[in-house]
Chains A and B, each alone.
Chain A
Amino acid sequence: MGGEPLMKQVFNDIPQEEYMLSGHTACPGCSAALSIRHATKALGKETVFVITACCFSIISGQLPLRTFELNVFHCPFPSAASTGSGLKRGLAAMGDTTTQVVVLAGDGGTFDIGLQGLSAAAERNEDIIFICYDNEAYMNTGMQRSSATPFGSKSATSPAPKVKENPKKDIMKIIEAHAIPYAATATVAYPKDLLAKFQKAKTIKGFRFFHILCPCPPGWGVESDQTVELSRLAVETGVFPLYEVENGEVTLNVTPQTLRPVADYLGSQRRFSTLSAEDISKIQATIDRSWQALLNRSNTAEIQEG
Chain B
Amino acid sequence: MLPRCSETVAIPYKIGSGTVPVLVNKTGDWRFLTPSRHEKNAPCASACPLHSGISIWIDRVKEGDWQGAWAAVSRYNPFPAITGHVCYHFCENDCSRNHYDQSIAVGELEKEIGLWRLRKFASGEKLPVGRKLPIRVAVVGSGPAGLACAYYLAMLGLEVTVLEKQPVAGGMLALGIPEYRLPRNVLEQELAVLRSLGVVFRNGAELGRNITLAQLREDYQAVFLATGAGKEKKLNVPGEENPGVIGALEYLAMVHLGKKLPDFHSILVVGGGNAAVDAACTARMNGARVALAYRRTRDVMPAHDDEVRSAEEAGVQFLFQVQPDKIYSKSGTQTVVLSRTQSSRRGERISTVPNSSFNLACDLVIVATGQDADLSIAGEESLSFNGQSLITNLPGVFAGGDLISGPATVAAAIGAGREAARAMAAYLEIDQSTPDGPIIASIYNDSIPVAEYETLNPSIFPKQGRAVSPETEAGRCLSCGRCNRCGVCWVFCPDMAVAGVEFDINLDYCKGCGICAKECPGGVLEMGVIDSGTENHHR
Q: Do A and B bind each other?
A: yes
Chain A contacts for B255, CB-based, 8 A: none
Contacting residue for A306 out of B13, B463, B485, CB 8 A: B463
In the bound complex, do residue A22 and residue B508 qualify as a contact, i.e. CB atoms below 8 Å apart? yes
Q: Does B21 contact A (CB under 8 A)?
A: yes
CA–CA, A303 and B512, complex, Å: 33
In the bound complex, do residue A66 and residue B459 qualify as a contact, i.e. CB atoms below 8 Å apart? no
Chain A contacts for B493, CB-based, 8 A: 34
CA–CA, A67 and B494, complex, Å: 12
CB of A301 to closest CB in B, whole Å: 14
In the bound complex, do residue A71 and residue B514 qualify as a contact, i.e. CB atoms below 8 Å apart? no
CA–CA, A216 and B31, complex, Å: 18
Q: Does A190 contact B (CB under 8 A)?
A: yes
Q: Mark B203-245, 1 if CB is under 8 A from A, else 0.
A: 0000000000000000000000000000000000000000000
Q: Does A143 contact B (CB under 8 A)?
A: no
Given contacts A37-B494, A37-B496, contact A224 B15 (CB under 8 A): no
Q: Does A142 contact B (CB under 8 A)?
A: no
Q: Does A225 contact B (CB under 8 A)?
A: yes
Q: Does A278 contact B (CB under 8 A)?
A: no
In the bound complex, do residue A191 and residue B22 qualify as a contact, i.e. CB atoms below 8 Å apart? no
Q: Does A25 contact B (CB under 8 A)?
A: yes
Chain A contacts for B472, CB-based, 8 A: none
Q: Does A105 contact B (CB under 8 A)?
A: no
CA–CA, A21 and B23, complex, Å: 6
In the bound complex, do residue A23 and residue B491 qualify as a contact, i.e. CB atoms below 8 Å apart? no
Contacting residue for B511 out of A28, A67, A70, CB 8 A: A28
Q: Does A262 contact B (CB under 8 A)?
A: no
The chain A residue sitting closest to B518, CB to CB, is A225
CA–CA, A61 and B126, complex, Å: 63
In the bound complex, do residue A22 and residue B23 qualify as a contact, i.e. CB atoms below 8 Å apart? yes
Q: Does B19 contact A (CB under 8 A)?
A: yes
In the bound complex, do residue B494 and residue A71 qualify as a contact, i.e. CB atoms below 8 Å apart? no
CB within 8 Å of A: which B1-49 residues:
5-6, 8-9, 13-27, 30-31
Contacting residue for A66 out of B20, B499, B515, CB 8 A: B20
Chain A contacts for B459, CB-based, 8 A: 189-193, 232, 254, 303
In the bound complex, do residue B494 and residue A225 qualify as a contact, i.e. CB atoms below 8 Å apart? no
Contacting residue for A22 out of B17, B462, B506, B514, CB 8 A: B506
Given contacts A7-B490, A10-B487, contact A90 B514 (CB under 8 A): no
Chain B contacts for A61, CB-based, 8 A: 18, 22
In the bound complex, do residue B25 and residue A24 qualify as a contact, i.e. CB atoms below 8 Å apart? yes
In the bound complex, do residue A8 and residue B18 qualify as a contact, i.e. CB atoms below 8 Å apart? no
The chain B residue sitting closest to A223, CB to CB, is B514
Given contacts A24-B25, A192-B459, contact A8 B501 (CB under 8 A): yes
Chain A contacts for B460, CB-based, 8 A: 11, 191-192
Interface size class of B (residues with CB under 8 A): 35 or more
Q: Mark B505-524, 1 if CB is under 8 A from A, else 0.
A: 01011011111011100000
In the bound complex, do residue B509 and residue A23 qualify as a contact, i.e. CB atoms below 8 Å apart? yes
Chain A contacts for B511, CB-based, 8 A: 27-29, 224
Q: Does B500 contact A (CB under 8 A)?
A: yes
Q: Does A94 contact B (CB under 8 A)?
A: yes
Chain A contacts for B512, CB-based, 8 A: 28, 224
For chain A, the count of residues having a C-beta within 8 Å of the partner chain is 63
Chain A contacts for B386, CB-based, 8 A: none
CB within 8 Å of A: which B442-496 residues:
455, 457-460, 462-463, 485-487, 490-496
Contacting residue for B494 out of A31, A254, A306, CB 8 A: A31
In the bound complex, do residue A65 and residue B25 qualify as a contact, i.e. CB atoms below 8 Å apart? yes
Chain B contacts for A11, CB-based, 8 A: 460, 487, 491
Chain B contacts for A94, CB-based, 8 A: 5, 8-9, 13
The chain A residue sitting closest to B18, CB to CB, is A66
In the bound complex, do residue B515 and residue A225 qualify as a contact, i.e. CB atoms below 8 Å apart? yes
CA–CA, A67 and B21, complex, Å: 6
Chain A contacts for B121, CB-based, 8 A: none
In the bound complex, do residue B16 and residue A71 qualify as a contact, i.e. CB atoms below 8 Å apart? yes
Chain A contacts for B23, CB-based, 8 A: 1, 21-23
Query: Which of B21, B24, B27 is most buried by chain A, counting CB atoms within 10 A of its CB?
Result: B21
Given contacts A48-B15, A74-B16, contact A189 B27 (CB under 8 A): no
Q: Does A26 contact B (CB under 8 A)?
A: yes
In the bound complex, do residue A1 and residue B499 qualify as a contact, i.e. CB atoms below 8 Å apart? yes
Q: Does A161 contact B (CB under 8 A)?
A: no
Contacting residue for B497 out of A22, A26, A62, A66, CB 8 A: A22
CA–CA, A7 and B488, complex, Å: 12
Given contacts A64-B20, A65-B24, A192-B459, contact A30 B514 (CB under 8 A): no
CB of B528 to closest CB in A, whole Å: 13
CB of B457 to closest CB in A, whole Å: 6
By a beta-carbon cutoff of 8 Å, the part of chain A in contact with chain B is: 1, 4-8, 10-11, 14, 18, 20-31, 33-34, 37, 48, 61-68, 70-74, 90-91, 93-95, 188-193, 217, 223-229, 232, 254, 303, 305-306
Can you list 25 A-B contacts (CB < 8 A)? Answer: A1-B23, A6-B501, A7-B485, A7-B490, A7-B501, A22-B495, A23-B22, A24-B27, A26-B494, A28-B31, A29-B494, A29-B513, A61-B18, A66-B19, A67-B22, A72-B15, A72-B16, A94-B5, A190-B459, A192-B459, A217-B513, A223-B514, A224-B511, A228-B518, A305-B463
